[in-house]
Amino acid sequence: MIQVIHDFKSVIQISKDQQSLETFANLTISETIYKLTELYPSELLLWCHKDLVSFLNYEQLTTICKSNCEIISYSLSDENYLSKNIGFVEQSIFINFSKKVKIATWQMSSMVGVAHADVFSAVKHTIKPVANLDYFLNSVAKVAMPLGVFCYSNPNLLTERNLNVEFQQKVTDSNLFKFVSEHYKKVWLLVLFVCLLYKKGKFPIFAFIESLFYSKISTDKIKIKPFSNIVANTFEYSNEIDVLIPTIGRKEPLYQFLKNLSVQTILPKSVIIIEQNPIVNAASDLDYLVNESWPFQIKHQLIYQLGACNARNLALKEISSDWVFFADDDIEIQPDFLAACLENAKKYQQKVFSLSCLLRTEKKHFTTCFQWVSFGSGASFAHKTAIKDLKFDSKYEFGFGEDADFGMQIRNHGNDIIYFPIPEIIHLKAPMGGFRTKVTRKWDSDLVEPKPSPTVMVFKMTHDSEEQLFAYQMMYFFRSFTIKDILHPIQKYKNLISKWNRSVYWAQKLITNQ
């Protein structure tokens, strides 16, 4: 491991395996990092501010970065380098994250961090070294994450987290606008400017104009090296799998999926089926569950309460295996599907992952393994330790957002969610899909229709930053305007505000369980 000790402005010391190396005169910290990747292409590179060296967690440093496709850092400050204002530009889950656990984010810190030399080598000819280390690291991670580099904030880099350290690199308006210009579409520069003006009372006109002359960084020439583990996998992966299937009114598609499961090269231990029927005391439609012989245990419950959240929570109580396959009732898989999923989990040392689930006619857009922003409750795997004591929140019942919220619960407990492009799931999209029975929600009788959906608002209010929510509102209003609304903009705006306020009202009711 190569250690680079700095004071934010320049490199103070370089060492390899605790043996001092000569520093490079007149090179910035980022230039030094690039130079070291040339000299030591198979090494881990650690950077640390001089005031934090005595708090480095040496016991875990060599195992925290597990592969050649990881970059990990940690900031002691509540606010990250790019400030909360980056939330005006990006709505993803990587903006407002917990500092208490290891969690996925491309927002890096110069305070302390570690990455394999392969990460920097891959972007060396695309991302120019700059004097500001924080800007450089954030740029590297922002570009590399969608290409398959796993990016994390991890407090375990340090032995102490509650340090009274009075230093923090703060982004300037010019660098914030420059970053947005280099990593997002130009329209987001205008969004950022308007949000800063309206929400923060700032008027960074010169930073805005200057940023228009920067080009967006192209990733076409970046080639991430094939994934390889550099730390032995100590986690024991078993082949025991429970398949969790909520179903309603899909007798034939479910039967075909069970047939798919019955010919797997690694058979599931049990298949948990929660059958919903709105007709109280009605008999089960799934006669083949008892009339036919299956090579796995079937745990079947017939319930008369509708709702996917409730059904999945009932199924979670029945789990007895190490792995859970969250499946839909109208999908198709190949005989080696379960085996391939477990092989991926072992290779990438992951406990939670979602899979490609497309119609036969749909084109696959993602062909790389990377960190996923959601959780597909009809196409995902999770180890039991990653979902222990978790449940689908009933606030989202009969709405939207339960998948994403469950994913956030997983992340906030220290686990990542990875997208695997293979093996594939074919979504049959059988008839009678979705909400097949009309459900009356509390707000359906409201004189003012709440928009966006109150369940969407619940997710935004629970997991987004204040800046993200404000930008979401502004963009939602903008996209709701049509050409005909130009004639009556004030009336349209008042209407949108009214609907937004009712959505907030009902979201707060859901959050407080009223």
Give the whole-number percent of the chain exceeding pLDDT 90: 90
Please check whether residues 257 and 173 belong to one and the same domain: no
Average pLDDT in the chain: 95
In a domain, residue 460? The reply is yes
Q: Give the pLDDT band (50/70/90) at residue 27.
A: very high
Residue 254 belongs to some domain of the structure: yes
Confidence tier at 166 by pLDDT (50, 70, 90): low
Contacts of residues 180-186 at CB distance under 8 Å and 24 or more positions apart, as own/partner, are 180/86, 180/89, 180/211, 181/211, 181/212, 181/214, 181/215, 181/216, 182/139, 182/214, 182/215, 182/216, 182/217, 183/139, 183/142, 183/143, 183/216, 183/217, 184/89, 184/90, 184/216, 185/216, 186/212, 186/216
Instruction: Look at residue 440 and tell me if it is in a domain.
Output: no
CATH number of the domain within which 294 lies: 3.90.550.10
pLDDT at 259 over 50: yes
- pLDDT tens-digit series, residues 406-430: 999 999 999 999 999 999 999 998 8
* DSSP states along 422-462: EEEEEE---TT-S--S----GGGG-SS--SS-HHHHHHHHH
Q: Is residue 227 part of a domain?
A: no
Q: Give the Cα separation of 512 and 395 in Å (integer).
A: 9
Q: Is residue 435 part of a domain?
A: no
Closest CA to 14 of 108, 163, 43: 43
Q: Are residues 337 and 478 in the same domain?
A: no
Dist CA 189 CA 183 (whole Å): 11
* Identity at 493, one-letter amino acid code: Y
- Split into its structural domains, the chain has a count of 3
Range of the domain at 338: 241-427
Based on the domain organization, do 42 and 151 belong to the same domain? yes
- Report d(CA 263, CA 296) in Å as an integer: 11
Residue 281 falls inside a structural domain: yes
Mean per-residue pLDDT for 172-184? Answer: 99
Residues 201 and 104 in one domain: yes
Residue 32 sits at φ, ψ, to 5 deg, of: -65, -40
- Same-domain status, 352 and 267: yes
- Does residue 204 lie in a domain region? yes
Q: Is the pLDDT of residue 143 over 50?
A: yes
The residue among 315, 385, 379 whose CA lies nearest residue 350 is 385
Residue 164 and residue 273 in one domain: no
Query: Looking at the structure, do residues 370 and 503 belong to the same domain, yes or no?
Result: no
In tens, the pLDDT along 87-124 reads 999 999 999 999 999 999 999 999 999 999 999 999 99
Q: Does any domain span residue 446? A: no
Q: Are residues 289 and 401 in the same domain?
A: yes
Give me the count of residues in the chain.
514
**What predicted TM-score, i.e. pTM, was given to this entire model?**
0.95
Cα distance between residue 263 and residue 253, in whole Å: 16
Judged against a pLDDT cut of 70, whether residue 287 lies above it is answered with yes
Q: Model confidence over 365-380: pLDDT tens digits?
A: 999 999 999 999 999 9
Q: Are 299 and 339 in a shared domain?
A: yes
SS3 state of residue 372:
coil
Cα–Cα dist 288/249, whole Å: 14
Residues 6+ apart with CB under 8 A from 509: 442, 454
Does residue 388 sit in the same domain as residue 275? yes
Could you tell me the pLDDT band of residue 434, with boundaries at 50, 70 and 90? very low
The reply to whether 422 and 459 lie within a common domain is: no
Do 162 and 287 sit in the same domain of this protein? Answer: no
Q: Which residues contact 225 (CB under 8 A, 6 or more apart)?
A: 68, 69, 118, 121, 122
Check whether 277 has a pLDDT greater than 60: yes
